[in-house]
Structure 1
């Protein structure tokens, strides 16, 4: 007498199908000492909603002809999530995040806000999932659904790709050390700023403003690249290194 699925939430509510023979007229389905709720019944199958419970319990079907042999049903607790890495990414989605916790081995779905994704279970304490596209930049709740239920509590932030509108001042000596202000959009998650490929120290002032100090460079136009969690933007020739006078 197969049962599918053979596991479900400790809170009950799992819809289970039991198949076999001579099942018509079923009067009761017991999950251990508790009764399930029969919602459909034929001679070869019964659909029943599991009651709450814990551990492994025997499931039996009672008909006018008697009571069946038992099959096992496993109660699974709701998942617990402890962390998500990384915590942000591009609004278009497509990057992979790792979720750590417990009770994750039966995970079937991860929701980012209202968007669902199918996870890859690594083990009971870890899963990975490809982030679906978001509807707009900003934070969304992350929930994991397993045989034991759904657990919320984590947050993921969608971020738009950055833009650069100006670099001021737009020139400075090849020795570096020029304090510049970079303005644009979506700069909050900036990870690096480079001038002609050389990293520059920087500070995030706001989502639209960065301050940076130019590293040493060679005379001529230099590309300014800002990299955030959502990607990179290049201001081609955005800063010009000028050589000092020679005698």
Structure 2
């Protein structure tokens, strides 16, 4: 048989053909490579996405790219097999990069993953405080995430209270009770700062203010009341 195209449908047919060409013959985009595969939580990393079916030069359809479901603020089409993207703010080690062209989008794969860098603690101020806790400290570092990333902090393995995110490089918290010296670590989603990295908080040493009685028999077996501070959680 011979196909018949009605005159009124010619324009629609041409538009459909043009759209199919722009979308890579109607095929879903495929992401094969991402370079680099990691970057800071504050975003701004320019990544090159390699693959197929990213559209054509004569298309007015601009590819859209998301990282972990968040749109890249800037996307540049290079070719049908290459797109540049500026990463948004984000956290996490397993963020899927998706390329969308028109109504079609790439499927998640092992090759389409981007990792936001782990937090790192570089300093704490003040670096010491009473054993009963309650010291407001400022923790400085990098990759503490974004506004709603809800970081947590531990001192010597115990959770800091009242954590307040200030920026991707600074947060505050209130120390727990403790004794000795404890590592300060920041946790953001599924990533954490290194253990034993060298940034520590030192709980003040015990101080004895008085002993009652201050003397007794060599035979022992009597009670001594010791008063002071920094004796632990109840002080």
Scaled to the shorter chain, the TM-score interval is: 0.3 to 0.5
TM-score by length of 2: 0.43
Bigger strand fraction: 1
Higher RCO by CA contacts (8 Å cutoff, separation 6 or greater)? 2
